[in-house]
Structure formats: structure tokens, C-alpha cells
Structure 1
Amino acid sequence: GSFSEIGFGFALSPGVITSALVFAVVMGVVGGFLPAVRAARLNIVNALRAS
């Protein structure tokens, strides 16, 4: 057999779409906004000196 014989029931309901959008927004905030806030709080001179 091959994988093409396996059928998947895939339905995009409004709940699934909403959950995916909320998850994507939360991951975007955690992955982008929070590190930017931490970097903004750093002292520029100390950060450059440490690198």
C-alpha cells in the first residue's frame, strides 16, 4: 500500500480557524514582541561592550 490510499477527513470549521489564528497571534507576540521589549530595556553601551 501507499500513503495515497489513506483518506483524511479535513474540515475547516470557524472554530478551527479562530483557534489557529489565536495561536498564531500568541506565538507571534511571544516570538517577536517580548524579545524586542527586553532588548529595548538594555543599556546600549553595555550591550555593545558585551558582544
Structure 2
Amino acid sequence: MFSLDELKQTQYFQDVRQEAREEGRLENKLETVPRLLALGLTVEQVAKALEVRH
């Protein structure tokens, strides 16, 4: 059985951790969209500001 420190060193753990970070970043961007649109930015401006494709 793995200890926590050993588990953290596995590629699987690193992959899952990276995926969670990416999902968190996406979630934050999605939460920001309505606020930027409410400020009067266009969809293109929002996409550029958040560095996403539209």
C-alpha cells in the first residue's frame, strides 16, 4: 500500500492534480463571463480577456 507521500509522486496523482487545476481555471473563467458582459464588453472582448476561443 502506498503512503500519501508515495502516492503524490505517482504519475496518476500528478495527472489528476493537473486536470483539477485546469477544471478550476475553467470554472473561474465561466463565473467571470456574466460580470464582463454586464460591464458592456462584447463576446469577442470577453474571449480575448479570458484567453479563450469563441
Structure 1 residue ranges (4+ consecutive) displaced by more than 3 angstroms after TM superposition: none
Q: How many residues align?
A: 36
What are the ranges of 5 or more consecutive residues in structure 1 without an aligned counterpart? 1-7, 45-51
RCO comparison, higher one (Cα < 8 Å, 6+): 2
What are the ranges of 5 or more consecutive residues in structure 2 without an aligned counterpart? 41-54
Structure 2 residue corresponding to 1:40, chosen from 20, 24, 36: 36
* TM-score for both structures, normalised by structure 2: 0.51
* TM-score for both structures, normalised by structure 1: 0.53
User: 2: distance between equivalents of 1:14 and 1:40?
Assistant: 37
Q: Percent identity between the aligned chains?
A: 8
Structure with bigger gyration radius: 1
